[in-house]
Amino acid sequence: MSDSQLTPEQQDRANRLEWFRAARFGMFIHWGLYSQLGRHEWVMNRERIPIAEYEKLAKSWKPKPNAAREWAKLAKKAGMRYMVMTTKHHEGFCLFDSKLTDYTAVKLGPKRDLVAEYVEAARAEGLKVGFYYSMMDWHHPDGAACKTDENARKRFIDYIHGQVRELCTIYGPINIMWYDVSWPLNAIEWESARLNAMVRELQPGIIINDRSQLPEDFGTPEGHITPEKDGRAWESCMTFNDSWGYTPIDTNYKTAWQVVSMLRTVAAGSGNLLLNIGPTPEGDVPPICKRELLKVGKWLDQNGAAVYDATDPMHQEWMITGAFTRKDNTVYYHVNRWPGTQLGIGGIQNKVLSARLLNGAKVKCTQVEDRLILKGLPAEAPDKLATVIAIEVDGVPDQRLGLGHVLIEGDNWPL
Ligand code: JFZ
């Protein structure tokens, strides 16, 4: 659809989303009282820790000053373009300066506005700023009662809407409102339409995710990378290990190779990757995450064109050596399992005009019908994370293999 066919409302959304669609890669940060226990951000619920006992964590939390500066610098180096931090997770503790509760970082242990530090740090690196805000609240007395008691619901709505108002007024322009878990109410009971109208009035340029039970600006598939339908903007959020909050006993960390592969997948589907770090209670980034993120950043420095700018999906078949992104008539083949001096790609339906390593030499190739062979490649992978080969073709790129040794009409992998 060309821009001229959009309704004014659709055009506004397209304008708001412009930076987001180009951003591709962001840093998610889960940081809260749970970071001190180091057993996942759901520890209060999973271990049934009584509120009074859990509250002690609010007094003992002493993060180092301005930890967020280190995160923002790391995000920038990793090639990320925005950040989203937990301003309040399900535990109910507010990292921001809420006047609606005493359970805040300003009034208790840290004695500082951790959200203010985060906003300043992100802006200093030129990164867009997002606020994660959990609607579910295990600490507020009405957090569960709101489901069955109308007075409790009214009080709780005032609290949640009031805090979102605070987040939208204290910190200047905010780029993303990232709601999470809206248990136990539905969109009508949450008065989500009114909530989001208020957010947009206070923050005209903001984009809002779909977790207040209204679709708003973008979808948030979680733990998997699946494009939304009809060109709707989307962002997959992913853990680095298998926990969001700091969990040193969970050592199943993703590697830079995996992150690069995820970036390719989101790029091919015109989406974003929001990759999480769970800092220590002090605010340090686990060294493994730092190390892998720096590798990803170096790779993006070299190969950004195949990820930030190459967005359009094409029809492509699975290959064991790699996968495509594309821009116009150029396909970028991200080779993450290097086959040696020769690389075969079947099923390309276009005439290949040229091939070159994204960061280097032209590559010799022969094309016989739908068999393309790239020759004279280095024996070892030039880049172990993924070597990108830019292949220019004579029309809209398309790859069809089907299941047989020849392609027949309507032959597609059975779903
Ligand atoms: C939620 C939180 O419970 C979790 O702690 C973390 O903050 C994460 C980002 O969001 O978990 C979810 C939310 C949505 C889905 C799954 C887990 N989902 O839609 O499948």
Cα dihedral sign, 127-169-117-243: negative
d(CA 242, ligand 1 centre) in Å = 12
The ligand 1 atom nearest the CA atom of 136:
3
Give the total residue count for the chain. 415
Nearest ligand 1 atom, CA 42: 5
Ligand 1 binding residues, C-beta < 6 A: 41-42, 180-181, 222, 237, 244
Which CATH superfamily hosts domain 3-304?
Answer: Glycosidases (3.20.20.80)
For residue 376, report the distance from its CA to the centre of ligand 1, in Å: 47
Q: To test the ligand 1 pocket, which listed residue (35, 135, 181) has its Cβ within 8 A of the most ligand atoms? A: 181
Question: Before 286, cis peptide (omega within 30)?
Answer: no
Closest CA to 178 of 122, 118, 219: 219
Three-state SS at 333: strand
Contact 172, 119 (CB under 8 A): yes
> What is the pLDDT at residue 179?
98
Which residue ranges in the chain fall short of pLDDT 70?
A: 1-4, 412-415
Residue 2's pLDDT is what?
A: 52
Instruction: Measure Cα distances from 72 to 25, 76, 109 in Å.
Output: 13, 6, 23
pLDDT digits (tens, 9 = 90+) for 293-306: 999 999 999 999 99
pLDDT value of residue 1: 47
Which amino acid residue places its CA nearest to atom 10 of ligand 1? 180
Output the pLDDT for position 285.
98
Bridge partner residues of 26 (DSSP): 82, 274
CA torsion 332-338-344-345 (nearest 10°) is -30
Local structure of 52: helix, strand or coil: helix
Q: Is the pTM of this model over 0.95?
A: yes
Segment (H or E) for 208:
strand 207-208
Q: Name the pairing type of β-strands 233-238 and 218-219.
A: parallel
pLDDT of the residue at 200: 98
Distance from Cα 109 to the centre of ligand 1, integer Å: 27
Do 316-407 and 3-304 fall under one CATH topology? no
Domain residue ranges of the chain, discontinuous segments joined by +: 3-304, 316-407
Q: Which is the closest atom of ligand 1 to the Cα of 30?
A: 7
Q: 266 C-alpha to center of ligand 1: Å?
A: 19
Give the pLDDT of residue 415: 47
Rounded distance between C-alpha atoms, residue 404 and residue 159, angstroms: 61
Task: Note whether 290 and 297 are within 8 A (CB).
Answer: no
One of 2.30.30.30, 3.40.50.720, 2.60.40.1180, 2.60.40.1240 is the CATH number of 316-407, namely 2.60.40.1180
